[in-house]
C-alpha cells in the first residue's frame, strides 16, 4: 500500500461513496437510526402537507400487499383518529426497517425525511478528511469528477450538498446511480463513459468493493481499491489483484494538458 500513479490518459475520476469517500457506517449508524428515532415527530409536524399525505397513502397501499407477511403491522384507515394513524405508520415503518425492506413507499418517506434533516442541519454528510483536499487538487489539475453510488442521485446530492465540510457539489460534474445499471456489471461503466463523453480508459474508478473494481476494469477503466476503517476485510488474493490506497492523498494524477 502506498502511492498510486495513474496513467496520463486519465482525465476523470469516478468515485463510490460508502467505504470510499464516506464511512460505511454512515448509512447504518446515522441515516437509518435517524428515521427510526424521528418518524413520529416528522409525521406529526408534516401531517397537513400534501407530500406527507401522499407518502402515507403509498405506505398504506404497500401495507395492503404485505398483510400476509410475518409480523405485519397494519396502518389504520383514514376515518381513524390522526394519532392512531400516525402510530400505525410509525410501527409499520419500524417493522419494514427491521426486515431491511426497500419498498418504494418506505424509500419515498425516508427520502423526504432525510431531505428535511439535512436542510435543517440535523444530519450532515460525512466525508473522510483526505477527500476534500484531493477533490480540490484534482479539480485544479483539470480533472472531471463524478459519483457512482447505489444510493439515489438525490441522496448523493444531499450527502455532499450538506456535508460536514459544507456544500461540496461544486466539485462534481455529475452523479450516477443504479438507474444506469448495477455497480457489479461492466456495462454500467461503459454507459457512464458514454454519458460523460469519454473513453473508459480516461476514467479512474475508486471503490471499496472488489466486484465493482473488477467490472470497471473489465470495461477498461483504471481502478484502485480504497481501504478504510470499518470496510469489509479483503482477502490476500483481492489485495494482490488491485492497487490499494488508504487515503486519496496517495493518488497522483497528471495534470490535464
Q: Report the first-to-last Cα separation within the chain, whole angstroms.
A: 28
Please report how close the Cβ of residue 18 comes to Mg ion at its closest, in angstroms.
4
Residue nearest to Mg ion (CB): 19
For 129, residues 6+ apart whose C-beta sits below 8 A from its C-beta are none
> Is residue 205 a contact partner of residue 223, using CB atoms and an 8 Å limit?
yes
Please report how close the Cβ of residue 177 comes to Mg ion at its closest, in angstroms.
13
Closer of 92 and 207 to Mg ion (Cβ):
207
Distance CA 188, CA 238 (A): 22
- Binding span for Mg ion by CB under 5 A among 15-23, 47-55, 87-95, 234-242: 15-23
Q: Measured between alpha carbons, how far is residue 4 from residues 9, 105, 206, 236, 251 in Å?
A: 14, 43, 12, 19, 5
16 binds Mg ion (CB under 5 A): yes
3-state helix, strand, coil in the chain (%, to 5): 50, 15, 35
User: What character string, x for contact with Mg ion (CB under 5 A) and - otherwise, covers 182-221?
Assistant: --------------------------x-------------
Among 12, 13, 18, 89, binds Mg ion (CB under 5 A): 18
19 binds Mg ion (CB under 5 A): yes
**Phi and psi for 142 in degrees, rounded to 5?**
90, 10
126 binds Mg ion (CB under 5 A): no
55 binds Mg ion (CB under 5 A): no
> Is residue 145 a contact partner of residue 17, using CB atoms and an 8 Å limit?
no
Please report how close the Cβ of residue 150 comes to Mg ion at its closest, in angstroms.
8
Residues that contact Mg ion, how many (by CB under 5 A): 4
Q: Site residues (CB under 5 A) for Mg ion?
A: 16, 18-19, 208
Amino acid at each position: 500500500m502506498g502511492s498510486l500513479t495513474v496513467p496520463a490518459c486519465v482525465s476523470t475520476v469516478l468515485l463510490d461513496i460508502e467505504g470510499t469517500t464516506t464511512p460505511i457506517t454512515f448509512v447504518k449508524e446515522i441515516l437509518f437510526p435517524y428515521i427510526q428515532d424521528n418518524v413520529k415527530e416528522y409525521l406529526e409536524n408534516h401531517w397537513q402537507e400534501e407530500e406527507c399525505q401522499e407518502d402515507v397513502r403509498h405506505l398504506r397501499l404497500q401495507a395492503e400487499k404485505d398483510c400476509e407477511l410475518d409480523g405485519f403491522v397494519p396502518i389504520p384507515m383514514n376515518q381513524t383518529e390522526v394519532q392512531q394513524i400516525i402510530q400505525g405508520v410509525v410501527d409499520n415503518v419500524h417493522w419494514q426497517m427491521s426486515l431491511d425492506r426497500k419498498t418504494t413507499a418506505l424509500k419515498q418517506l425516508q427520502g423526504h425525511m432525510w431531505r428535511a434533516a439535512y436542510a435543517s442541519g440535523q444530519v450532515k454528510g460525512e466525508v473522510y478528511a483526505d477527500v476534500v483536499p484531493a477533490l480540490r487538487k484534482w479539480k485544479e489539475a483539470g480533472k472531471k469528477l463524478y459519483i457512482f453510488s447505489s444510493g439515489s442521485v438525490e441522496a448523493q446530492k444531499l450527502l455532499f450538498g450538506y456535508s460536514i465540510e459544507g456544500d461540496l457539489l461544486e466539485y462534481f460534474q455529475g452523479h450516477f446511480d443504479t438507474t444506469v445499471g448495477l455497480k457489479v456489471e461492466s456495462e454500467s461503466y461503459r454507459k457512464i463513459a458514454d454519458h460523460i463523453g469519454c473513453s473508459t480508459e480516461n476514467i479512474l474508478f475508486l471503490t471499496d468493493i472488489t466486484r465493482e473494481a473488477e467490472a470497471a476494469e473489465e470495461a477498461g477503466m483504471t481502478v484502485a481499491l480504497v481501504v478504510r476503517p470499518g470496510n469489509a476485510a479483503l482477502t490476500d488474493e483481492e489485495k494482490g489483484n488491485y492497487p490499494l490506497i488508504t487515503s486519496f492523498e496517495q493518488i497522483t494524477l497528471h495534470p490535464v494538458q
